[in-house]
Amino acid sequence: MISFPRLLKRIHVLGTAWFLLCAAILLIVSLRQAGFNWWFVFSVSGYSSILFAFLITFYLFALFRGVVRAQCAVEHPLSTTPAYLFFYDAAPFLGAVAGLLGSIGVSDFAAIVRMATEGTLGMTFVTWVVLDSVVGGVESLLPQSRQSRAVRIAAARAEKERIKRENAAMLESLERRERELQRDWRAAFEDAATALANLYCTEQAATEQARLMTADVGAKAWATGKMACMRFVHQMIRERMKPCPHRPCMDYAAFWWDGIGAWRRPQKAMPAAN
């Protein structure tokens, strides 16, 4: 046996399909009654996409209202009753029935079809847009709905504040962790950075011993903290360079660390700033 919610879902899907079909039929019948040939009807089918875009927008509005109503059932005590939901979902079919009843005594088949489709479109629009909006407005004035909405808004605001506090705490924790890491890196590489900085500003900077020492410091920095540690140590070296009057300092670490971890040498020389 089909449950009532599933039955309503099927009625809604079929009603929506019937509504769109009636819109297309009404467009074709109107053009045919105006005296246009079939080739013209199909030639303007591209322009009719504007009408269908409007219908889709209209349907999305009704769908949005239905989703909001389902999520906040306490705030919608009238529009969530089984009788109202059945009437709401069956509105396209009820409109078609009303159109057929109004066509009793009419012998022209095209007129009967037109009245049925117009009844469908009219009833659907009145129910899904006008009546549902009026009922929603009445529901918003009820004390229970107002109280529930106030509680929901307060809960949403509190949840937003909680997430904001958690993000701030996480950011503060990351910053604190970063400061602790940099303090540890500074203590571990202080002497090596100072020695390399002094070495790069002397004539012995390009010796094999200096190259080996630079590579050893770079490898140790990569093993300690990957690229972040290497960049930090490199900045320490550059900050400690003191160019002498007759010889500018050259940042050899930027070149000799090439290939250590993810480090890549720069495209041009990087002398230390005076």
Q: What is the pLDDT of residues 251-270, one digit of tens each?
A: 889 889 998 988 888 866 55
CA 146 to chain centre: 30
List, as own/partner pairs, every contact residues 66-71 make where C-beta atoms lie below 8 angstroms and the sequence separation is at least 24, other chains included.
69/136
Q: Does pLDDT of 44 surpass 60?
A: no
Tokens 């495209």 sit on residue: 267
State the pLDDT at residue 209.
83
Cβ(145)–Cβ(139) below 8 Å: yes
Higher pLDDT, 65 or 183: 183
Residue 218 CB neighbour total at 10 angstroms: 23
Cα dihedral value 187, 192, 197, 203, nearest 10 = 170
d(CA 245, CA 231): 28
Confidence of residue 68 (pLDDT cuts 50, 70, 90): low
Residue with tokens 């037109």: 114
Once rounded to an integer, what is the mean pLDDT over residues 127-149?
84
> What's the rounded Cα separation, in Å, for the pair 234 and 227?
10
pLDDT digits (tens, 9 = 90+) for 162-181: 999 999 999 999 999 999 99
Mean pLDDT of the region 100-115: 83
pLDDT digits (tens, 9 = 90+) for 186-216: 999 999 999 998 888 877 777 888 889 999 9
55-78 mean pLDDT: 68
Lowest pLDDT segment from 9-13, 22-26, 64-68, 98-102: 64-68
Spell out the long-range contacts of 205-211 with Cβ–Cβ below 8 A and sequence spacing 24 or more: 205/250, 205/252, 206/252, 210/252, 211/252, 211/256
